[in-house]
Amino acid sequence: MGRMIEDIAAMVRAGERLNAEDALTLWTEAPLWLLGELATERKRRVSGDKVFYNRNFHLEPTNVCLFECSFCSYRRAAGEPGAWDYSMEEVLAMVEARRESGATEVHIVGGVHPTHDLYYYTEMIRRIKQMMPSLCVKAFTAVELRYMIHRAGLTVEEGLRLLKEAGMESIPGGGAEIFAPEIRTKICPQKGTAEEWLALHGAAHRMGIDTNATMLYGHIESVEHRIDHILRLRAQQDETGGFNAFIPLKYRAAHNAMSSIGETSVVDDLRTLAMSRLLLDNVPHIKAYWVMYGKQTAELALAFGADDIDGTIDDSTKIYSMAGAEDTRPTMSIEEIRRMCAAAGLRAVERDTHYNEIG
Ligand code: V47
Ligand code: SF4
């Protein structure tokens, strides 16, 4: 017989590592208040009363993508209505417009593009850095990176080296979805395996490029698949140690091929955040990405282990509003972020991409 909830809670409080079996018991049977309490205890040990945010904006140079993930509301085929494909000059003009904004990070993500290659993107990064040298470039999911590097005929390490030399300092967490092959092959069959995603992040960590990790949940996966996903990340982190933050991404159901599934509940979101905090004892930060959850759930997330809410965004991303997120022009002022954290009894702290505190 498996352990009882009280025994597992005592292990968590003592700082012991959870295995998959205990995680499943806690995840499916513990009352919500207990998960909140345990995750908050753990969060306070890691980051005290701080909640991190940054001044950031996104660049989405294109939504043209060769792949067809069934959860994606964002991608279009080239030339299809709703497709966009900004020129290099247009992308640079978007950066120029934010030169005086105080932003410290740009998050660049697009699609698996048929013609824009590795050299096009190294040029883009180089020119962005020329324009705003202090701006940290966090760019491209592991899936986009693998594709462009492979097409250039390079090894992952060689490709990452070129991008790093151009000014890429960090890699966002996208493309992870759900690692288990029986789910991955159904929702994103072209994306490559878990092992490939993890190997790219591991290679980045070894080169001093820090990264994030995500998990797309709330669709056809089970709690066991989520636990498996998180434990694979924990094992990778034990080995290479470069993940800054874990970001559970709630599946948003508007305008995509899986829309009929609908969306999971806020209670499920909170349980997922709390269990992520408890299982990932070696990843410093858990991010409640407010653009996708909405501001109210993001505030609740702060009582379930999250210690990061991403950033100001400044109306620069469409991925989530296209999938049904409420905020169609997502922006948070610093004042609003401070108020949200204070309402949760916590303190907003500005950070850079590498989690150095600013100010
Ligand atoms: O991998 C796509 C997700 C991800 C939907 O590193 C969807 O700081 C929900 O990686 N419903 C890309 N999610 C975004 C991403 C990200 C976002 C914010 C912060 C960071 C970071 C990284 O978006 C994809 C996929 O999992 N996604 N469609 C959808 N319908
Ligand atoms: Fe393309 Fe990314 Fe959408 Fe998949 S999730 S279809 S790779 S843009």
Ligand 1 touching residue 215 (CB < 6 A): no
Phi, psi of 348 (to 5 degrees): -75, 130
Contact 100, 135 (CB under 8 A): no
CA of 249 to the centre of ligand 1 (A): 6
2 assigned to some structural domain: no
Q: Look at residue 69 in the predicted model and tell me its pLDDT.
A: 98
Instruction: Provide mean pLDDT across the span 124-140.
Output: 98
Instruction: Provide mean pLDDT across the span 42-63.
Output: 97
Percentage of residues of the chain with pLDDT beyond 70: 100
- d(CA 136, CA 38) in angstroms, rounded, equals 34
pLDDT in tens, 283-298: 999 999 999 999 999 9
CA of 68 to the centre of ligand 2 (A): 6
Does 1 score more than 80 pLDDT?
no
Instruction: Provide mean pLDDT across the span 304-322.
Output: 92
Range list of H helices, the chain: 5-13, 20-29, 32-47, 88-96, 118-131, 142-151, 156-166, 181-187, 194-206, 223-240, 266-279, 290-293, 295-301, 319-322, 334-343
Q: Look at residue 315 in the predicted model and tell me its pLDDT.
A: 86
11 assigned to some structural domain: no
Nearest ligand, CA 75: 2
25 assigned to some structural domain: no
102 assigned to some structural domain: yes
Ligand 1 touching residue 214 (CB < 6 A): yes
CA of 272 to the centre of ligand 2 (A): 23
Q: Look at residue 307 in the predicted model and tell me its pLDDT.
A: 98
Strand 50-54 and strand 308-311: pairing? parallel
237 assigned to some structural domain: yes
Q: Look at residue 326 in the predicted model and tell me its pLDDT.
A: 85
Ligand 1 touching residue 111 (CB < 6 A): no
- d(CA 8, CA 22) in angstroms, rounded, equals 7
146 assigned to some structural domain: yes
17 assigned to some structural domain: no
Atom 12 of ligand 1 has which residue's CA nearest to it?
174
What is the total count of domains within the chain? 1
Average pLDDT, the chain: 96
Q: Look at residue 327 in the predicted model and tell me its pLDDT.
A: 87
Q: Which residue has the higher pLDDT, 2 or 94?
A: 94
pLDDT in tens, 262-283: 999 999 999 999 999 999 999 9
Ligand 1 touching residue 280 (CB < 6 A): no
Atom 4 of ligand 2 has which residue's CA nearest to it?
69
CA of 110 to the centre of ligand 2 (A): 8
* Structural domain for 343, as ranges: 31-350
The CATH number of whichever domain residue 137 belongs to comes to 3.20.20.70
Q: Look at residue 208 in the predicted model and tell me its pLDDT.
A: 98
Ligand 1 touching residue 140 (CB < 6 A): no
Does 328 score more than 90 pLDDT?
no
30 confidence band (pLDDT: 50, 70, 90): very high
256 assigned to some structural domain: yes
CA of 16 to the centre of ligand 1 (A): 31
CA of 75 to the centre of ligand 2 (A): 6
Atom 8 of ligand 1 has which residue's CA nearest to it?
172
Contact 198, 236 (CB under 8 A): yes
Contact 214, 249 (CB under 8 A): yes
Residue 72 alpha carbon, nearest atom of ligand 2: 3
Ligand 2 touching residue 71 (CB < 6 A): no
Atom 2 of ligand 2 has which residue's CA nearest to it?
111
Residue 188 alpha carbon, nearest atom of ligand 2: 4
Q: Look at residue 3 in the predicted model and tell me its pLDDT.
A: 87
Does 314 score more than 90 pLDDT?
no
